[in-house]
Amino acid sequence: MIGTILKYDVVGLGQCCVDYLALVEQYPYVNEKSEVNKLTIQGGGPVATAMVTLSRLGVSTSFIGKISDDYFGTLIQDSLTAEHVNIDHIVVEKGGRSQVSFIVIEKETGKRTIFWTKPTVAPLSPDEINKDIIRNARVLHLDELMIEGSLEAARCAKDAGVTVVVDAGSLREGSLELIKMADYVITSEVFAKQYYSNNYDAKAAAMELLKMGSRAVVVTLGDKGSITVSKESYFYQPAFKIKAVDTTGCGDVFHGAFIFGLIQRWDLKETIRFASATAALKCRNIGGRTSIPDLREVEEFLENENALN
């Protein structure tokens, strides 16, 4: 029927890019050469990768972002449609350049060095956002990378009773205003340190952020795991032990899997454990999306972990 708005469980709005990723034995010094062992090109971006994660877990998703009509923009779109993420509401600005990242991963440590170029297209503006698709979602997932568009989307979601999840990667202008509209906030340790710079403590930072009104705040700590605070509880989730080849996109996958738990109406501890396992499995190969598991893989991994413990 003409005019019918398709409903998706999760709508994501944020940054998207193309990632060129290379695995080397050891990162070289200036003016040295290093042979690349593996090379891959794939889509990236925090919210975009979270949508791919949810799609692999069996959730219907749509992504809202902004690209150009260049070669990289085509790669970005193809990388999402190949994962069954709806892209009908991506805005294409002609004659510019979409965002590109170059990521070099050290084989022994799994540590990364990232080079990236900003897109030349204008940030997504509030009037470029299809608000009907947000109003009809169960969850809206946002980063803070196109803040005006994110704030408008969050207002729309709150008015419609849609759950808002915010990925807080770095403290930027407008970040705290966005967090005030979030139901769930997942911050990096970088964000937590920037926000709570004096006598930094992850739990203290999370508790301060919780006062802004969200139901729960999660601080991800890389290979140290994560902490979660809510009005009812505080707990620590250690990272699962796995041989990490590449941690690119690990946090993005965690966010997607966290939202999956919300949709299943699991309690916070079960949701965080599931998200941690999904993010750990992602690290098995290079690239933010290569080894994102499906639901059965995560379930089997957790079953094995339960048997060992």
pLDDT, tens digit (0-9, with 9 covering 90-100), for 138-153: 999 999 889 999 999 9
The model's pLDDT over 158-210, given as tens digits with 9 standing for 90+, comes to 999 999 999 999 999 999 999 999 999 999 999 999 999 878 899 999 999 99
**228 beta partners:** 218, 235
Averaged pLDDT of the chain: 94
Please tell me whether residue 140 adopts helix, strand or coil conformation.
strand
Of 233, 309, 301, 304, nearest to 267 by C-alpha is 233
**Structural domains in the chain?**
10-17+45-98+119-308 (3.40.1190.20)
Longest Cα pair distance anywhere in the chain, in angstroms? 61
Please give the average per-residue pLDDT across 238-265, as a whole number: 95
Q: What are phi and psi of 290, to 5 degrees?
A: -50, -50
> What's the CA gap between 73 and 80, in Å, rounded?
11
Percentage of the chain modeled with pLDDT above 70: 98
The model's pLDDT over 65-92, given as tens digits with 9 standing for 90+, comes to 999 999 999 999 999 999 999 999 999 9
Please give the average per-residue pLDDT across 299-306, as a whole number: 92
Spatial neighbors of 303 by CB under 8 A, at least 6 apart, are none
Look-up of token digits 């799994």 = 110
The model's pLDDT over 88-109, given as tens digits with 9 standing for 90+, comes to 999 999 999 999 999 999 988 8
Residue 2 confidence (pLDDT) above 50? no
CB 175, CB 182: distance < 8 Å: no
What sign for the dihedral angle of Cα 40, 114, 198, 211? negative
